[in-house]
Structure 1
Amino acid sequence: MTTAPKQVTYEDGLRLVQTLVGDGRLPMAVRWVDRLCRHRPDDARAHNQAGLVRQRQGRPDDAVLHFRRATLLQPDAAELWVNLGNALRHVAAFDEALLSRLRGVLCRPDAADMRLSYALGLLAAGDYRRGFAEYEYRENRSKGLAPYAEAGWPLWDGRIRPGGRLLLATEQGAGDAVQFVRFVRPLAERGMEVVIACPPELQRLLRSARGVAAVIDPTPSGSPAAFDGVDMLLSLPARLGLEEEVLGLAGRYIEPPEPAFRVPAGEGLRVGLCWTGNIATPLNAMRRIVFKELARLLDTPGAVFYGLQVAAGSGASAGEPRLLDLSPHIEDFADTTAMIDQMDLVITVDTSVAHMAGALGKPVWTLLARVADWRWGYDGETCLWYPSMRLFRQTRSGEWRDVVERLGTELRRQVESRRSAG
């Protein structure tokens, strides 16, 4: 006797779509979610799921249509407005995206994830005062401070006391730490002793930053009484109330160690290349460029190329005679700065190398996806955070060809300018 197959209910179907997306089986997820939308066209959950699946497929235009339908059906659901805002951002409808995120906050003003989404929209729009205030709702802040609170460490009250001692903990990626360590110097100039708690691979680099008195491991240890308080490094803009016009005035604010390898001088324009960030970072797939595409620059006469890529990405250039791989001479981020400092120009994707080059005041060309991270703004070639940086943005999502063509044109101009000046 055969058993009749179990009938899949509508609720089962919603759960199944989530499972299929989690397993990376997107085509099947699309088929199921479309069936759900046809079955119950007036259920916001089905359209929300359909939008999320399209977003994962890299089809933000289609995602926007589903999220719009979902918000019409359930206008008081904060997460739907945030999802719509994210999709609108990916179709470069930035103003509308910010309004959608604000609707999410109005629906649930006590929800940290809603406030963070709105914060990122404000920061991308260049509204740093309101953006950094909202950024304090980020989960990384509460998680980062939790171990210190459990160990009895007091939270910094924001008061700047000459002779006071402050511990600042890093969070997120290395690039974030490099970008925000500039805000330590104003504290030191006003008499505070600032210690940074960070992972070992960042310690030599951050120890060199202006105003940093010392670095320690991130695990709370010792007596809390040794410090007036603890806070997160990325909270300094909100604490200090800095205006955006001072962000780019830091100049060169980190110093590299003596390099383990000296790059030969006088052989041409020395250009350092970096084509991928941490491959474990979800956003890296959008930010990275395939080495073979970037390698089209290697035939530029008068330029000599060096690989600044480390870890898994460095193998992509193996056997390329036109590029000298510097990764064997790099053990930590401080070593990377020592190599960057010997370059005449750095060309890199959006990763820590871009931040280190900018913090050194080195000329750096940063390749950006069509929809870039908040810190690079919506458009334009200049960067408020790093005056020595020039931004090269995709004109179409996922396509780097025209970016590399623009890079090649500008690189040849740089070589020619160097020849004329020499």
Structure 2
Amino acid sequence: MKTILNTEEIKRIGNKLKTLSQKNNHKETIEEIKKNIKKHPRWADGYSLLGDIYISIAHYEESYSAYSKALELDPDNLQWKLSLLLCQLEIGRDVKHALNELLNLFIKNADDEAICIKIASIMVSGKNPKITIAAIKWRAQNHKNSDVLSGILANQLLEAGLISEGCKIYLNLFDSSPDGVLYAPQLGVALIRIGAFQACADIVEALKAHSPETAALMLNEYGIALAALNRSREAQIVLREYLHTHPESRAAKFNLGQALLKGAQYQEGWELIEFSPPEFKIQGVKNPWKGDFPIDGKTLLLYGEQGFGDMLQFLRYIPHVEKLGANIALSVPENLKRLCQESFPNIEIIETDFKKIKYDYSCSLLSLPLALSSQIGYEIPSSVPYLYPNRDDIEKFSKIFGKKNKLRVGLVWSGENRPRHGLNYKNRSASLQMFSKIINTKNIDFISLQLGNPQKELLQWNEKEIFDPMNDVSDMEDTAALIFNLDLIISVDTSVAHLAGALGKPVWMITRSDCCWRWLEDQEDTPWYPTMKIFRSQPGSLHHAIELVAEALPDFVTTWQQNS
């Protein structure tokens, strides 16, 4: 049974929910729906409304549960089924099955373009553009695809790396569609996701002369592109211009924050970086602390967000929090627990599922620069080391290496692949073969610090010997103890580069020309890690930076030999 409320009840509840939603009062809206569901447990529309609200605030687990209940009561509702599948993709639950089900629904409803548009839009969340491309191209064999479906196809072609084909469709939409101008921002977003920053900037700069209204729609993407092209000052101007006409845009505020941080303008940068996208945030934390009130004697939950590198980078702020007198509970992934306990023995290290933990206030590690600004200012605490591996583990790996005769250099050539971050994220990684010029440097014992699928590249490696101790590594504490026994770490922009820097070990980081905000612009050093040297590549790949490292390494060997 879909609806079991009478007309009067529907009208009353509807009016109340409308009032709450107009005020963007999600919490009370959810409570009101739940209250009425409790009275009417077979109210399928109520569960659907609950799912809608949760989706709007990116609480996909809760939304999934709500739609599941709605479909138990009304299993034939296609719209609810599609919403459930969207949640399934967003939380990464059996993605392959969800995409197959969406593909079947797309084929079954091929005659209904509105349904096909919705399904294709949901399929995009599955981060498998080839499936979406195949579906839309299949439909085009028997139906004329609308401009909207063509726009989705163009976007997915760019995501799949088929840049020429995707841009061609967008250009056709510009010329043929009465709403062609509206596709300019979509093209900008797609170009940003694949790392075609110069192409995005070129398009906007061309549009400024011929269609300033269209260019104005793309200023947010233009600002991102300029910052990536190491033109952060210009990016700040452009993003402020966009915010002048779109003052509520959280995305633009976040992008401006990144441009400011890349330009070493930390005060406003830390404030605006708080507008990070929902997918970067941990859900379910309560009572946020931003440094605006005392926490002496209170329990403060500190928790990590985003990747391991981000967490390692911001752990440096914990000693400053300790001085405020709070009882600290630090929530980090299992892989970081031992290292954090060894480095910060006076705080409690807890699991990432902290729903059962009692605490008074909470703060993300990445929010600590802002929260502590009144105590330590906005400059970066750059004292290293601030992480310390266990001495017994250091000794354990020392014995594995045996007698030292040559310079020991650790290598990491690839970072974790994160499809959600777009095709360009892959460009931070190299291959073992690309590192061959580095590895051929004489008088060095090379040690692999590589984990994940790229570690398998060692099985096909037939050149100079590389010692691989990573099967004896169980977590980041072991990795730290291993690094402690090395003289130099050469790594792409991944967590090991952060770890080496936090340990105060010499580290040469190989990164893209369009690297992220933390490495600033056009300089070899970084305020984050005094022992780090940055090798920046030219646009395209990491080959240029790798060549620079190979050229510099013999001098490092000579200096080490002279000082040994």
TM-score by length of 2: 0.67
Mapping for residues 356-371 of structure 1, pairs under 5 Å: 356-371=499-514
Aligned to 2:447: 306
The one-letter code of the counterpart of 2:511 is L
The one-letter code of the counterpart of 2:397 is F
Aligned to 2:559: 417
Mapping for residues 258-297 of structure 1, pairs under 5 Å: 258-259=393-394, 260-262=396-398, 263-280=401-418, 282=421, 283-297=424-438
Residue 518 of structure 2 aligns to a residue whose secondary structure is: helix
Aligned-residue identity in percent: 26
Aligned with 2:548 (options 399, 406, 417): 406
Q: Distance in 2 between matches of 1:60 and 1:170?
A: 29
Q: Distance in 1 between matches of 2:290 and 2:536?
A: 40
Assess if the C-alpha contact under 8 Å between 1:140 and 1:171 holds in 2: no
Change (3 A) 1:22 1:421: closer
Assess if the C-alpha contact under 8 Å between 1:165 and 1:228 holds in 2: yes
Rg (Cα) greater in structure:
2
Aligned with 1:234 (options 358, 361, 366): 366
Aligned to 1:389: 532
CA deviation string 1:102-156 (max 9, x = no partner): 2233232222222111111111111111111111121359842x4133xxxx333
Assess if the C-alpha contact under 8 Å between 2:254 and 2:276 holds in 1: yes
The one-letter code of the counterpart of 2:213 is L
Q: Distance in 2 between matches of 1:189 and 1:355?
A: 24
1:41 Cα deviation from its structure 2 partner: 8.8
1:75 Cα deviation from its structure 2 partner: 6.2
Residue 343 of structure 2 aligns to a residue whose secondary structure is: coil
Assess if the C-alpha contact under 8 Å between 2:159 and 2:190 holds in 1: no
CA deviation string 1:152-192 (max 9, x = no partner): xx333623444332111110000111100111101213423
Residue 248 of structure 1 aligns to a residue whose secondary structure is: coil
Greater fraction helix: 2
Q: Distance in 1 between matches of 2:441 and 2:526?
A: 26
Q: Distance in 2 between matches of 1:33 and 1:267?
A: 60
TM-score by length of 1: 0.88
1:294 Cα deviation from its structure 2 partner: 1.1
Change (3 A) 1:163 1:48: closer
Mapping for residues 47-58 of structure 1, pairs under 5 Å: 47-55=184-192, 58=195
Mean alpha-carbon deviation: is it higher for 194-203 or for 282-291? 282-291
Mean alpha-carbon deviation: is it higher for 326-335 or for 381-390? 326-335
Residue 109 of structure 1 aligns to a residue whose secondary structure is: coil
Change (3 A) 1:285 1:25: same
Q: Distance in 1 between matches of 2:178 and 2:557?
A: 60
Aligned to 1:120: 258
Residue 247 of structure 1 aligns to a residue whose secondary structure is: coil
RMSD in angstroms over aligned alpha carbons?
2.6
Q: Distance in 2 between matches of 1:193 and 1:186?
A: 13
Residue 201 of structure 2 aligns to a residue whose secondary structure is: helix
Aligned to 1:209: 343
Q: Which runs of 5+ in 1 are unaligned?
A: none
Q: Distance in 1 between matches of 2:503 and 2:259?
A: 28
Q: Which runs of 5+ in 2 are unaligned?
A: 1-140
1:313 Cα deviation from its structure 2 partner: 1.4
Aligned length: 408
Change (3 A) 1:329 1:165: same
Change (3 A) 1:261 1:89: same
Considering Cα pairs closer than 8 Å and 6+ residues apart, tell me whether 1 or 2 has the greater RCO: 1
Does residue 72 (structure 1) correspond to residue 212 (structure 2)? The answer is: yes
CA deviation string 1:305-357 (max 9, x = no partner): 10000111111122455210121111111111111111111010100001100
Aligned with 1:354 (options 497, 503, 507): 497
Q: Distance in 1 between matches of 2:357 and 2:514?
A: 45
Mapping for residues 140-289 of structure 1, pairs under 5 Å: 140=278, 143-144=281-282, 146-149=283-286, 154-156=287-289, 158=291, 159-210=293-344, 213-222=347-356, 224=358, 227-241=359-373, 242-249=376-383, 251-257=384-390, 258-259=393-394, 260-262=396-398, 263-280=401-418, 282=421, 283-289=424-430
Residue 275 of structure 2 aligns to a residue whose secondary structure is: coil
Assess if the C-alpha contact under 8 Å between 1:185 and 1:211 holds in 2: no
Assess if the C-alpha contact under 8 Å between 1:185 and 1:212 holds in 2: no
Mean alpha-carbon deviation: is it higher for 239-248 or for 41-50? 41-50
Change (3 A) 1:228 1:90: closer
